[in-house]
């Protein structure tokens, strides 16, 4: 029987060695940098959002295998999703890696992200796993700002 931990390990090593959606995004409308001083991880995330949908998301990063694999898995998971869906997924992922989801049934919406669940046993690694997600959140805020900062049309006082 295959060892589940070995399977998880191989997914993380694969995404670390061959990260998906790696490299800057030229026509991004949101970006953000993240830094984890505890481990030395750095990540920059670019997004191109049209309407409410994430059309493309890319990243560049340096640091440990967990931080890079998490960023890679994240970009694969949120491409094509709406901002709200991505933020919901970020919350579920955070619950997973902080161990708040422990004891509850596995969350099927996490898909491959579940491979990072083991991080919850290593508190120092939680920041490695969540770094790219914080950067994604900030990048999405930047992308959404021009839309959401437009004041509603003024039809005059009733
Ligand atoms: Zn790290």
CA 126–ligand 1 middle distance (angstroms)? 8
In a domain, 104, yes or no: yes
For position 1, what pLDDT does the model report? Answer: 45
Rounded (5°) CA angle 110-86-58: 100
In a domain, 152, yes or no: no
In a domain, 157, yes or no: no
CA 38–ligand 1 middle distance (angstroms)? 8
In a domain, 132, yes or no: yes
In a domain, 107, yes or no: yes
CA 49–ligand 1 middle distance (angstroms)? 28
Higher local confidence (pLDDT), 109 or 155: 109
Higher local confidence (pLDDT), 54 or 157: 54
Tokens of 119: 């991080």
In a domain, 121, yes or no: yes
Is the Cα torsion angle 48, 23, 42, 63 positive or negative in sign? positive
Predicted TM-score of the model (pTM): 0.87
For position 145, what pLDDT does the model report? Answer: 82
pLDDT digits (tens, 9 = 90+) for 59-97: 999 999 999 999 999 999 999 999 999 999 999 999 999
Higher local confidence (pLDDT), 150 or 101: 101
- CATH of residue 28's domain is 3.90.1010.10
In a domain, 154, yes or no: no
CA 7–ligand 1 middle distance (angstroms)? 20
Cβ-proximal residues to 80 (8 Å cutoff; 6+ apart), any chain: 53, 54, 55
Residue 6, CB half-sphere, CA atoms under 13 Å: how many? 3
CA 51–ligand 1 middle distance (angstroms)? 33
CA distance 134 to 156: 40
Domain that holds residue 21: 4-147
What is the total count of domains within the chain?
Answer: 1
In this model, does residue 99 exceed pLDDT 60?
Answer: yes
In a domain, 155, yes or no: no
- Decide: helix, strand or coil at residue 51: coil
Higher local confidence (pLDDT), 44 or 107: 44
CA 69–ligand 1 middle distance (angstroms)? 10
CA 128–ligand 1 middle distance (angstroms)? 4
In this model, does residue 9 exceed pLDDT 50?
Answer: yes
Mean pLDDT, rounded, for 10-28:
95
Residue 36, CB half-sphere, CA atoms under 13 Å: how many? 26
Under a CB-based contact definition with an 8 Å cutoff, are residues 43 and 71 in contact?
Answer: yes
For position 143, what pLDDT does the model report? Answer: 94
In this model, does residue 150 exceed pLDDT 80?
Answer: no
């Amino acid at each position: 029987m295959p060892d589940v931990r070995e399977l998880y390990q191989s997914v993380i090593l694969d995404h670390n060695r061959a990260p998906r959606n790696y490299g800057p995004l030229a026509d991004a409308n949101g970006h953000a940098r993240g830094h984890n001083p505890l481990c030395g991880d750095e990540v920059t995330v670019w997004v191109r959002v049209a309407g409410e949908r994430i059309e493309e998301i890319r990243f560049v990063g340096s640091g440990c295998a967990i931080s890079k694999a998490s960023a890679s898995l994240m970009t694969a998971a949120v491409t094509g999703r709406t901002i709200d869906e991505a933020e919901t997924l970020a919350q579920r992922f955070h619950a997973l890696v902080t161990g708040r989801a422990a004891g509850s049934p596995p969350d099927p919406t996490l898909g491959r992200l579940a491979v990072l669940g083991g991080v919850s046993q290593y508190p120092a690694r939680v920041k490695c796993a969540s770094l790219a997600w914080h950067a994604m959140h900030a990048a999405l805020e930047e992308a959404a700002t021009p839309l959401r900062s437009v004041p509603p049309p003024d039809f005059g006082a009733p």
